[in-house]
């Protein structure tokens, strides 16, 4: 077992609305993702501590990056988020571990900051009911 940094991601692809996987590693500056489980509190009055059941699994990811309208890059991938209902495969890979989920993008937010930078954010959430898992 060895500890590793977050450097050297081998895969970060997102499908465009036509289903083509686009490698966005050069445009994404940072991201966060989560694989949470819902819980149901089922504590009876006979208990002195919380009692819970695990429920449905989920996946969400927030991508952040720099505007790039080159062929098959970030802007081309996300520019139609507001006008399509396409499901997009999001694939992540690092250190031989991969995580792939079918997601829907809920927003494509562009920001022009006072320093002149043009950045974007795209949140995506699980769409198909398949339990997320690393392979």
* Radius of gyration in angstroms for the set of CA atoms belonging to the chain, rounded to a whole number: 18
CATH topology (fold) of 11-38+56-126: Thrombin, subunit H (2.40.10)
Its sign, for the CA torsion 117, 113, 33, 71, is negative
pTM: 0.90
Per-residue pLDDT, 116: 97
- CA dist 48 and 9 (Å) reads 45
Domain boundaries, the chain: 11-38+56-126
The torsion angles phi and psi of 76, rounded to 5 degrees, stand at -65, -35
Query: What is residue 1's predicted lDDT score, i.e. its pLDDT?
Result: 63
Instruction: Specify the pLDDT at position 4.
Output: 86
10-residue stretch averages of pLDDT, the chain, 135 residues long: 86 97 97 97 97 97 96 96 95 95 97 98 97 93
> What whole-number distance in Å separates Cα of residue 51 and Cα of residue 116?
52
109 vs 64: CA distance, rounded Å: 10
């Amino acid at each position: 077992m060895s500890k590793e940094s977050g450097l050297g991601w081998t895969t970060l692809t997102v499908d465009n609305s036509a289903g083509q996987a686009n490698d966005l590693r050069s445009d994404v500056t940072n991201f966060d993702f989560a694989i949470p489980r819902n819980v149901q509190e089922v504590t009876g009055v006979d208990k002195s501590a919380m009692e819970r059941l695990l429920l449905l699994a989920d996946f969400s990811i927030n991508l952040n990056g720099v505007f790039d309208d080159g062929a098959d890059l970030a802007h081309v991938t996300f520019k139609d988020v507001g006008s399509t209902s396409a499901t997009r495969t999001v694939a992540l890979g690092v250190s031989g571990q991969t995580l792939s989920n079918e997601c829907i993008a809920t927003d494509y937010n562009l920001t022009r900051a006072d320093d002149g930078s043009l950045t974007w954010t795209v949140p995506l959430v699980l769409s198909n009911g398949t339990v997320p898992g690393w392979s």
